């Protein structure tokens, strides 16, 4: 079975990777928009309207990608913070319980 133990700090590392990917994704989307704008000039009539509608819908959906990635990165960091706090609280509880039972403090 795979090791599924949460390692504090790893989620923040993953968040940095996600944030680092945002700029290249934005650049790719901008380059794609520029290329499509230049290439779509040859379409006329109904095909032009259909293409414009499809591209608008696609870029609207793609526009949600960057904010979604930013939110995901923030939630990854929050997991590390919450887990670190929880672990510290559990260690404190254990130390108090061990002290009451006569064990090491």
- Is a pLDDT exceeding 70 seen at residue 105? no
Domain hosting residue 99, numbered range: 65-105
Number of domains the chain contains: 1
The answer to whether position 93 is within a domain reads yes
Mean pLDDT value of segment 7-18:
93
Give the containing element (helix H, strand E) for 60: helix 45-63
- First-to-last alpha carbon distance for the chain, in angstroms, is 34
pTM score of the predicted model: 0.72
pLDDT in tens, 42-91: 777 887 888 888 888 999 999 999 999 999 999 999 999 999 899 889 99
């Amino acid at each position: 079975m795979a090791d599924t133990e949460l390692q504090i700090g790893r989620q923040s590392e993953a968040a940095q990777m996600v944030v680092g990917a945002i700029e290249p994704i934005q650049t790719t989307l901008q380059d794609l928009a520029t290329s499509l704008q230049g290439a779509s000039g040859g379409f006329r009539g109904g095909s032009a309207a259909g293409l414009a509608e499809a591209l608008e819908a696609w870029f609207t959906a793609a526009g949600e990608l960057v904010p979604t990635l930013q939110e995901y990165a923030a939630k990854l960091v929050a997991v590390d913070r919450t887990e670190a706090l929880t672990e510290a609280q559990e260690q404190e509880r254990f130390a108090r319980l061990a002290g009451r039972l006569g064990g090491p403090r």
